[in-house]
A = this chain, B = another copy of it.
Amino acid sequence: MSLKAQDPHIEKEPAGIGRRRFLNAAAALGIGSVTLAGCKEESKPAQGGAAAGGAAPAHGAEAPHQGGAGPVHIPPGQLDTHYGLWSSGHTGDARVIGIPSGRELLRMPCFVPDPLTGWGITNESKAVMGTKPDGTLEYVVGDTHHMQASYKDGIYDGKYCWINDKINARIARFRLDYFVCDKITKLPNVQGFHGIFPDKRDPVDPAINYTTRVFCGQEFRIPMPNHGKDLEDTEKYGALFTCVDALTMDVKWQARINGNCDLVATSFDGKLAATNQYNLEEADFYAEMMSRERDACLFFHVARIEQAIKDGKFTHIGDSKVPVVDCRVENNKDPKSAMVVRVSVPKNPHGVNASPDGKYFVCSGKLSPTCTVIDLQKVLDWFDGKLDDPDKSIVAEPEVGLGPLHTTFDGRGNAYTTLFLDSQVCKWNIEKAIKKYAGDKTVNPIVHKIDVMYQPGHINATCAETKAADGIWMAVGNKFSKDRFLPVGPLHPENDQLLDITGEQMILAHDNAVRPEPHDFVILPRDWLHPKQVYNLDDFPLATKSQADTGVTRNGKKVTVRITSVAPAYEPTEFNVKVGDEVTLILTNLDKVEDLTHGFAIPEYNIQFIVNPQETKSVTFKIDKPGVFWYYCTNFCHALHLEMRGRMIVEP
């Protein structure tokens, strides 16, 4: 069926949209309709198998993929070669995936509660997540899109990664030693926080060769502040580009801009940050957002912004104490003092990615079949007054196919762009694209195209946005999977496909089913991370270091219960409290053996959490029901695990 037939905006002219603007909208929708409706039902896999829905694989009939990256299947006892750090979309957490196997090694909770670990239940996790005055969680939903890791000397240093929450404008940081979220920051006066990227070194101090800032883009324009005034007048709405301190996680500054922010990129020299902008129209309805032929990539001169703040050239918005600088283009026309410059990109671009050689940013066209290659030195030249027109920093606009969204790199001069509408990845050569744009009609920058299944979004190759891009594996996050997996009802998994990119032609190696909806991801070699697998008891101020120190302490109605776990028993195995008490229960896992995690649940009291080896966690709750409540170990720990339990005896 055709989506077009369902869409009222095709049949009638939306109010307030002129004839030409309407045609633009209809054309763009037409593309989407045709492709989605057809959705390549007839597609065959690129290699190595029968069509979807075909017969079961015959005995011994496997045709392993034959690329240079090696096999996908990791035999029992072997380890994956790469870590993948993955966003989870509206599932609201983050994931660690083994590459090439595609096995999910960990889900890392951050913005939403996690019943397994007790995230959102323990006092420690609630302190990170944030609570209302009544102690309940401020937010219980999240929408994570972009996962980026901290850099040093142009490669990932294995310290941190960050992720955004689009629904509630939060940024979370994960420690990559313990793989846990340790900080969440709310961005003030922001709605639709989408793109995120850490800087790669300091713009001024060459000694700071590592990440100290994370830049955050605002997609939805809102009244500034959003407190109930200027509700209907969208011309008074604004958008902010936010800089967060990577170490303290405090918001350093915000920049008010025209249009909106979509994705974010940073230069390897630390001097430039940028965001692609798809709504320079500042419209509030999709058809109107497509009226301009060209939107933009907006570049921020980080050093000048921070100098302006030092010079006191900032304001505040509403109650926020964060300094806000004015980065609207009409107030930044003089290259010598400008904090921003706009480089035009064909209409409604999506995605901006930094090439690993440090030279270029590549914006994808979305509604234009092109990518736009911007030479960063020329952008700096404009800020230095050496380039009269910022659009002269555009050095290539190769035509890659329909619906280009994101681009990645192999470190050998090639770029790989997802084509949402074509359901393909296009491999193209950057220098050839530049030669062609410069007038050499003999070169063809397109190297290879391959079908992916279906409607690809983000794409990333191993180490692609580092100086060590190695061009081994490439993952593609497909938004539709349709017929690629066994049917499981109306909700389909996404299809994260893995491709071998070691050769001239890409090879499709693996379809990996994943819960909706991964957006972005980074993939790095396993020896770039150095996780710790047992906690240090001393890192927990509340730790009960000996079983002799366990037990109940009462202060009026406030009761503290200290419990330790050593497989297969808690100590104590029972404690008494009374209805009306407020209990703070502190559990320390004294087991030191790696992987010897215990759980702790209390029936009817909504308490469940785990304690890893040498970890301490606490929960505080009101006693409101009399009776016997068996607390028990929820994490299988020992042959006598079922017997690991004790009684909370509640007197009326």
Contact = CB atoms under 8 A, between A and B. Distances in A.
A602 B178 CA distance: 32
Number of copies: 2
Contact of A141 (B226, B511, B601): B601
B222 A627 contact: yes
A278 interface: yes
Contacts of A73: 62, 64, 71-73, 510
A450 B632 CA distance: 31
B50 A70 contact: no
A115 B92 contact: yes
A284 to B, nearest CB: 6
Nearest to A405: B639
A214 to B, nearest CB: 20
Nearest to A638: B32
A515 interface: yes
Contact of A627 (B3, B231, B403, B569): B231
A32 to B, nearest CB: 4
Contacts of A219: 642
A96 interface: yes
Given A76-B508, A105-B493, A531-B488, A28 B639 contact: yes
Interface stretch (A295-303, A355-363, A609-617): A609-617
A516 B482 CA distance: 28
A482 B36 CA distance: 44
Contacts of A127: none
Contacts of A57: 70-71, 74-75, 78, 81
A262 B115 CA distance: 24
A413 interface: no
A461 to B, nearest CB: 17
Contacts of A143: 601, 608, 634
B639 A488 contact: no
B58 A70 contact: yes
Nearest to A497: B76
Best-buried of A113, A453, A487 by chain B (most CB within 10 Å): A487
Interface in A233-264: 237, 262
Contact of A75 (B63, B284, B533): B63
A585 interface: no
Nearest to A526: B486
A92 B65 CA distance: 37
Interface string A595-636: 111010111101110101101000000000011111010111
A90 B610 contact: yes
A73 B299 CA distance: 45
B649 A232 contact: yes
Interface string A178-190: 1110000000000
Contacts of A285: 573
A414 interface: no
Contacts of A547: 8
A92 to B, nearest CB: 4
A52 to B, nearest CB: 5
Interface stretch (A37-45, A196-204, A327-335, A434-442): A37-45
A645 interface: yes
Contacts of A591: 3, 6
A486 B50 contact: no
Interface in A1-37: 1, 3, 6-9, 28-29, 31-32, 35-37
Contact of A593 (B39, B69, B516, B571): B39
A509 to B, nearest CB: 7
Contacts of A595: 480-482, 492
B49 A490 contact: no
A270 interface: no
A75 B48 contact: yes
A207 interface: no
A62 B58 CA distance: 19
A98 B486 contact: yes
Contact of A485 (B98, B112, B367): B98
Interface in A256-304: 262, 278-279, 284-286, 289-290
A651 B590 CA distance: 54
A490 B650 CA distance: 34
A339 interface: no
A96 B487 CA distance: 10
A507 B272 CA distance: 55
A141 B6 contact: no
A632 B90 CA distance: 12
B90 A44 contact: no
A513 interface: yes
A393 interface: no
Contacts of A48: 75-77
A117 interface: yes
Contact of A533 (B58, B484, B490): B490
A500 to B, nearest CB: 10
**In the complex, the 7 A-B pairs of residues with the closest C-beta atoms, listed nearest first:** A45-B77, A228-B626, A62-B71, A286-B643, A490-B612, A179-B489, A49-B75
Given A6-B566, A106-B491, A279-B643, 7 more contacts: A6-B590, A45-B77, A77-B484, A105-B493, A141-B608, A220-B632, A490-B535
